[in-house]
Amino acid sequence: MHEMSIAQSLLDIIKEEMAKNDAKVLRSVRLQIGQLTAIVPESLSFCFEVMTAGTDLEGAKLIMEIIPLVGHCENCKKEFPIENYAFECPFCRSTDIRTISGEELSIVEMEVE
Partner 1 sequence: MKISVVKNILEANERIARENRVLFDEKGLTVMNLMSSPGAGKTTLLEKTIDALKDKLHLGVIEGDIQSSQDAERIANKGIPVVQINTGGACHLDGNMIRDTFGEFDFDNLDLLVVENVGNLVCPAEFKVGEDFKAMILSVTEGDDKPSKYPLMFHESSVLLVNKIDLLPYVDCSISKIKEEALKINPQLIIFEISCKTGEGLDNWFAWLEDFVQRRKASFSANA
Distance in angstroms (rounded) separating the CA atoms of residues 40 and 1:
9
Helix/strand/coil percentages in the chain, nearest 5: 25, 30, 40
Q: Is 75 in the site for partner 1 (CB under 8 A)?
A: no
Binders in 29-48 for partner 1, by CB under 8 A: 31, 36-39
Cβ atoms of 77 and 33 closer than 8 Å: no
Cβ atoms of 67 and 82 closer than 8 Å: no
Applying CB under 8 A, among 53, 76, 86, 92 the residue interacting with partner 1 is 86
Q: How many residues bind partner 1 (CB under 8 A)?
A: 33
Please give the residue ranges that form the binding site for partner 1 (CB under 8 A): 1-2, 4-6, 9-10, 12-13, 17, 21, 23, 31, 36-39, 84-88, 95, 97, 105-113
